Amino acid sequence: RGIDTLFEEFILLAAVAGISVLLRPLSDEVRELPEDKAPDRAIPPPSPAVWLLAVLLSSLLTLIGLETITHGVLTPGGGFQAGVILASAIYVIYLGTNYATVERFQPDPLLEASDGVGAFGYVVIGLLGLLAGDVFLSNVVGLGVTGNLIAGGTIPLLNLVVGVEVAGGFAILASEFLDQTAVIRTDR
């Protein structure tokens, strides 16, 4: 199961890197927002009720994502599922507001760092087992008391780094795709 998650993480990391390279702005592309193309037609602001619902749902999704990371040892779920839940909090903000609002909430360097640090952290935790003289991803942390939150050994740490990597990866993917909606290509 651990090796499977490792491959899933690196597939996601490769997908994010590939999409980032494919969708990077070219030298002849200019970033324009829709209101730049039609200055006489204003985009209506989001409804205050929809905006409030998006903020509440985003907060709830963030809480559920953090809970899924921390309790992934005790319940079904874990880091990958929690990462998707955390990234979906950003999607809900986009759906309830607009892309400019989402851009303010997601600093690209932090997202890119979280994607790489999460994948690297998973490998480091796996290598700790080898350094301890056992197999890759073997437990190097005490197990604690059954039923307790810290009773999972290295699994809570793995859930944390996987959640960070997946949340960053999916948020970068969404950012790259949404950013393409604001890019206008010139004639070649």
Question: Mind giving me the DSSP string for the chain?
Answer: -HHHHHHHHHHHHHHHHHHHHHTSPPTTEEE--HHHH-TTSPPPPPPHHHHHHHHHHHHHHHHHHHHHHHTTTTSS--HHHHHHHHHHHHHHHHHHS-HHHHHHH--HHHHHHHHHHHHHHHHHHHHHHHHTTS-TT---S---STTSTTTTTTHHHHHHHHHHHHHHHHHHHHHHHHHHTTEEEPP-
State the average pLDDT over residues 110-115: 83
The pLDDT value recorded for residue 12 is 86
Average pLDDT along the chain: 81
Q: Residue 28: is its pLDDT beyond 90?
A: no
Tokens of 159: 């859930």
Prediction pTM value: 0.79
Structure-model confidence comparison of residues 121 and 108, the more confident one: 121
Task: Return the closest-CA partner of residue 156 out of 63, 54, 78, 81.
Answer: 78
Instruction: Say whether pLDDT at 11 is over 60.
Output: yes
What is the pLDDT, as a whole number, of residue 178? 79
pLDDT tens, residue by residue, 44-97: 778 889 989 999 999 999 999 999 988 877 776 788 899 999 999 888 988 888
Q: What type of residue is 128?
A: L
Residue 106 pLDDT > 70: no
Q: Which of 30-34, 61-65, 136-140, 148-152 has the highest mean pLDDT?
A: 61-65
Cβ count within 10 A of residue 72: 23
Q: What is the structure's pLDDT at 59?
A: 95
